[in-house]
Structure 1
Amino acid sequence: MVCLEICLAILGLAVLIYKWSTATHNAFDGRGVYFEKPRPFFGNMGASILFRTSFQKQLSKLYNRTKQYKIVGLFSFRTPMIQLNDPEIIKKICIKDFDHFPNHPSFIQSNERLLNDMLSMMTDQRWKHMRNTLTPVFTAAKMRSMFALMDDSFGECLEHLSGLSKGSKSGEGIELDMKVLCNKLSNDLIATTAFGLKVNSFETPDNEFYRIGQSLTFSRGSQLFKFMLSIIVPKVFLFFNLKIFNGQKVEYFVRLVVDAMKYREEHNINRPDMIQLLMESKKENENNWTDDEIVAQCFIFFFAAFENNANLICTTSLELLENPDIQQRLYEEVKEIQESLKGGSLTYDAVQKMKYMDMVISESLRKWTLAAATDRLCSKDYTLTDEDGTKLFDFKVGDRVNIPIVGLHWDDQYFPEPRKFDPERFSDERKNDLVPYTYLPFGVGPRNCIGNRYALMQVKGMLYNLLIRYKIERSPKTVKDLWEEARGFNLAPKAGYWMRLVPRKQIN
């Protein structure tokens, strides 16, 4: 009898959980929008959530199945979203009628320190004021002064590779996981440019900044689990007062920035990094930003730059080893730049002169887009109409919008032979043929990525230094097909980005 009661209780609980998991599945009923039937808990994204495929691949396939519709319904976990498959509609929503969709949806409900002070989490006027504060930080002039700090970290990375080369047999080169190398480089660059801290993760891989920073990224382990839990069951997350970030580790970053600002003010120290630029912007801006709001903008670098910038170097390096003719042409360009510097260090202005480098990076961002999608939240009721005035859809306050960047980037209607790595798509002769709002590597409109100059500067600087000294070749461990082998939300093969770096002869 007791067993029967237990079984009935378990069955009743299972039924309740199932009903809860499917309670939002009628969200599009009567709204005249096509959608694919979602699964309980995971919606339309189960394969990537369960690490059976990558989010990029799953979203691209969904886009291809539904692209005949200008807008479609999509379920991310239990959350219904309106996906925009048409570039003209993307333009309307994100630019022309931005005032109806000014914010990102808040998937995370948590009151923990720094989280809601990040630019990407801010809304309305508060976001606008912070964006205006930060915009001068990322101008070309500011990036130019910051590049010297990056150059020091590039040098330490190359010194590390040189040491590995000496330990290898002559002519064999270095076999390494490029992701491990680039994570250390990305860490050191963020430390010096965003936090005013000088670290060398190649000499001291267990340094505190690297160790704590790694533990706070969303791409793996318990951090990813807590992040997903906050999305799936936000009320439970809040009820038990759970935290995405470890409070002590957050406090480490707060103290790092606050103490640095205080010390610089007391000793009149000026250093061309993000802390300094934020201090200057704070003085010039009428908004009285708190220390936490300033720290949060440095803190977000770990989520916007740490993984993404490292991955971009890796995916580009992978394409260069797969396309030796492209690698050779790029090498010839960086060699010309090196000769024009006449023994001097690489500069921001020299980076900007590398046109073929820009084409290669642009195509890498097209094929291996790091942000598979971006989103918006409807803040005012909005009727979407076609060019001839025909009503397409009525958006309601609270509707969440999804923009499938990866779907557009892999659409052969806009990019013929999308799996082919072709930098010529972005040549002066052909780039004007691109359909507007189909290439969105850094998002679109006023809510686009503010740090795109920073990201491109880092990746181009590292590839320049790498190609001057090494030829990138396949190793026995190199991934055979990244599109098929990548899993989850982080575009990376499970075994890593293994490749071989072969020292070039006659280096000046």
Structure 2
Amino acid sequence: MALLEIFFGLLAVGFLIYKWGISSFNAFEDRKLPYEKPWPFFGNIASSALQKMSFQRQLSEYYNRNRQHKVVGLFNMRTPMVQINDPEIIKKICVKDFDHFPNHQTFINSKERLLNDMLTVMKDQRWKRMRNTLSPVFTAAKMRNMFTLMNDGFAECLQHLSSQSNSEGFEVDMKVLFNKLSNDVIATTAFGLKVNSFDNPGNEFYEIGQSLVFSRGIQLFKFFLVSLLPTLFNFFKMTIFESSKVEYFVRLVVEAMKYREEHNINRPDMIQLLMEAKKEGEDNWTDDEIVAQCFIFFFAAFENNANLLCTTSFELLHNPEIQERLYEEAKEIQESLKGGSLTYDAVQKMTYMDMVVSESLRKWTLAAATDRYCSKDYTLTDDDGKVLFDFKVGDRVSIPIAGLHRDEKYFPDPQKFDPERFSEERKNELVPYTYLPFGVGPRNCIGNRYALMQVKGMLYNLILQYKIEPSPRTIKDLWASARGFNLTPRSDFWIKLVPRK
């Protein structure tokens, strides 16, 4: 009898959990918004959440099946989202009527240190004041000075490669290589710390940074847990980040600021620029608010910049004629520098490099989607005044960047890697608000200049010294091989580098 009671008790608990797992799935019924039937708990993103495909591919395929609708429902796990498939409506929501959708949705409801002080999490006027504080940090003039620090990272990366080099060429896992580069560049430009992860892969900054990355391991599990069960997560006082690791970053920045003030030291990095912005502004930002901007900088740049280098290298090895043209441009720039180091201004002159990286961002967009949160009721109408959807306060909006970037309506033959799409002659063919690699509107990525100069600078140095070729372990189909929330294949990013004669 007792066993039977336990069985029925477990059955009842399982049923209640299942009902909870689907409790939000009637969100679009009464509002007459088309949507696809979601999976319990995982909504419309089950395949990527369960590591069967990349998030980019999942959203792109969902977009393709539903692009006849300008507005369509999407369940991001249990969260109902209103997906906008039409570029004109994207413009309305993200730019023209921004005051109705000024914030990102809250993915993580946790009160742990630094988390709610990050620019991407800040809301309304607090976000606006911090954005205004940070904007001068990312001007071309400031990036020009910061580029000199990046050059040291490029040189250390190339020195590491030359130690493995032989005339026949050698295999490299580009993800490991570029993770180390990205780590070292962020350490020096954002945290004022000089590390060399190529000579010392066990350095504290690299190991702690690796353990905090969201896209894998325990961090990914915690992210799912806090997204699905925020009340339970907070009840047990769990945290996304280990407090000791957060304290490490806080200590790095606060001690650096104190030391520089006491010794009148000036260095062209993020800490220095934030110190200056803090002095010149009237907002009296706390140390935690300053440190949080370096912290989010780490998350925004670390994985994304490494992935962009990987996907671009992947395309160059599959398109040798594009690689050769890029090499010719790099040679011209090198000759114009007359033996000097690469500069920020020289990077800006590489028009074909810009076309190649732009096309890589189109085909392999780093952010599969961006989002907005409705803060004021908003009636969406078409050009004829017909009501398309009534947004209510609390509605979450999804902009399917990966879907738009691979829509043949906007980018003919989207599977083809074609940098000419971004040539001066063809740029005017781009439909506004269909190419959104760094987001859109006032909430777009503030660090796009930083990301681009790092990627272009490294590619310039790499391609001058090596031909990028396939190795026996190079994947054939990245779209099919990539898993989860970034574009890293399970078999890694193996390529072959052959020294140029």
For the aligned pair, the TM-score class normalised by the smaller chain equals over 0.9
* Deviations 1:218-246, CA, capped at 9 Å, x for gaps: 01111110111110111110111100000
* Distance in structure 1 (CA, Å) of the matches to 2:252 and 2:208: 12
Equivalenced residues, count: 501
Alpha-carbon distance between aligned partners in 2 of 1:300 and 1:207, rounded to the nearest angstrom:
21
Q: What is the match of residue 242 of structure 1?
A: 238
- Within the candidate set 222, 226, 233, 1:226 is matched to 222
Q: Give a deviation string over 1:114-172, Cα, whole Å, max 9, x none.
A: 0000000000000000000000000000000000000011001100011111xx4xx32
1:85 is aligned to 2:85: yes
2:421 to 418, 425, 428: 425
**Mapping of residues 20-419 of structure 1, within 5 Å:** 20-165=20-165, 168=166, 171-419=167-415
Please state whether the residue corresponding to 1:120 is helix, strand or coil: coil
Secondary structure of the equivalent of 2:398?
Answer: strand
TM-score, structure 1 length as denominator? Answer: 0.98
Runs of 4 or more consecutive aligned structure 1 residues displaced over 6 Å after TM superposition: none
* Counterpart position of 1:445: 441
Deviation at 1:354, TM superposition (A): 0.1
Structure 1 gaps of 5+ residues are: none
Deviation at residue 302 of structure 1 after TM alignment: 2.1
Give the match's secondary structure for 2:120: helix
Question: Normalised by the size of structure 2, how large is the TM-score?
Answer: 1.00
Where does structure 2 lack aligned partners over 5 or more consecutive residues? none
Q: Over aligned residues, Cα RMSD in angstroms?
A: 0.5
Decide whether the 8 Å contact of 1:191 with 1:198 is kept in 2: yes
Distance 1:118 1:499 in 2: 36
**2:443, 2:490 → 1: CA distance?**
32
Of residues 432, 435, 438, the one that matches 1:436 is: 432
Partner SS state of residue 121, structure 1: coil
Cα distance in 2 for residues equivalent to 1:301 and 1:397: 30
Aligned 8 A contact 1:217 1:302 in 2: no
Partner deviation per Cα, 1:89-136 (whole Å, 9 max, x = no partner): 000000000000000000101000000000000000000000000000
**CA offset digits 1:289-329 (Å, max 9, x no partner):** 00000000001122100000000000000000000000000
Q: Percent sequence identity over matched residues?
A: 75
Q: Distance in 2 between matches of 1:31 and 1:249?
A: 45
Listed one character per residue, the Cα deviations across residues 59-90 of structure 1 (whole Å, up to 9, x for unaligned) are 10000000000000000110000000000000
Q: What SS is found at the alignment partner of 1:250? A: helix
Contact 1:410 1:419 in 2 (8 A): yes
Structure 1 position 490, deviation (Å): 1.3
Cα distance in 2, alignment partners of residues 151 and 107 from structure 1: 36
Query: How far apart, CA to CA, are the structure 1 residues paired with 2:169 and 2:106?
Result: 47
